[in-house]
Chains A and B, each alone.
Chain A
Amino acid sequence: MDLLTVSVTARESAGESYTLVEIAGEADVTNTDELRRLLDEEVAQQPRTLIIDLSGLRFMDSSALHALLRVNRSMDRQGGVLALVSPQAAVAKILRLTTADRLIPVFDSVTEAAAG
């Protein structure tokens, strides 16, 4: 069983397309490089909205958090928006502790995130 799985789908909401990335498992320094590479690929497609569904992610450490912050900077630079969805308790904790949740919007559902 892979420690981390990432799946990507292109979706549409009210005529606006967005990219949905679902991250599941545990994200830490041992798989950050892979996570960063997969996220970079999606950012390179220049989506207007990139939604990362964290509901299947049981754990995230500071190196994985940096990968998300990096995506946020890139999306910012190219005029897009990054949104996070449904972090579990451990992931919500590191987002709150580092105040990353004030920088990146966090939603309860993909539908809400897509509606902005």
Chain B
Amino acid sequence: MARDAETAQRDTAAEDALARPSLVRPTAGAVAPSGFSGLPGSADDIMSYPYTTDLAAIRAVVQRHAVKAGLSEARAIDLVLAVSEVAGNTVRHAKSPGQLQIWCDAKQIICQLHDEGVITDPLAGRRRPSLEARGGHGLWIVNEVCDQVDILSDETGTTIRMHMDLPG
């Protein structure tokens, strides 16, 4: 009980550190980058969170949304890990802040991250890296734990959309 209270308090504190989330209406094409199919018509309100290096706050936000959406504890852990890896890539490679957007429909919770970094390897994250490798586990983990991953990268930046099926 004390632990729950402590966790809740920590999450709140961490989220306070984030810029206040803005509520984005899912108008067609407003959020989805070109090349992606648009947002699902049934999508509820989309929560947007800009981030820089505040990864703990981003994880707390994703954890809260995952639980609220009905993901099991294990799948919530997976989604938090996946989002943290992608946001960590922003910290490592992008020279500008990133944007996390979260929405749900009847069947899925979706976390989409956008930053100005560019991924040039079309097979990024598709091959299991060796444990001797100095890096490259991030996107591979994302592909392993999520039910579906869409990656769109061009000279203007990278958008990664991670889908998790809700228990049905």
Contact = CB atoms under 8 A, between A and B. Distances in A.
Interface in B57-110: 59, 73-74, 77-78, 80-81, 84-85, 88, 91-92
Interface stretch (A12-20, A38-46, A94-102): A94-102
A97 B74 CA distance: 13
Contacts of A66: 134-135, 137
A61 B91 contact: no
Nearest to B55: A28
B137 A62 contact: yes
A29 B55 CA distance: 9
- Residue from B55, B74, B131 whose CB has the most chain A CB atoms within 10 Å: B131
A29 B92 contact: yes
A99 B84 contact: no
A70 B110 CA distance: 34
Contacts of A3: 56
Nearest to A99: B131
Q: Quick one: which of B74, B134, B137 has the most chain A CB within 10 A?
A: B137
Contacts of B85: 61-62
Given A26-B56, A66-B137, A97-B144, A61 B88 contact: yes
Nearest to B89: A29
A27 to B, nearest CB: 10
A3 B13 CA distance: 12
Contacts of B43: none
B141 interface: yes
Nearest to B88: A29
B145 interface: yes
B117 interface: no
Given A61-B88, A97-B144, 4 more contacts: A59-B59, A61-B81, A61-B84, A69-B131
Interface of A: 3, 26, 28-30, 59, 61-63, 65-66, 69, 73, 89-90, 93-94, 97-100, 103
8 contacts: A59-B80, A63-B88, A63-B138, A66-B135, A90-B77, A90-B81, A93-B77, A94-B81
Closest 9 pairs between A and B when the two form their complex, measured CB to CB? A62-B137, A29-B88, A90-B77, A62-B138, A28-B55, A30-B53, A26-B56, A61-B84, A29-B91
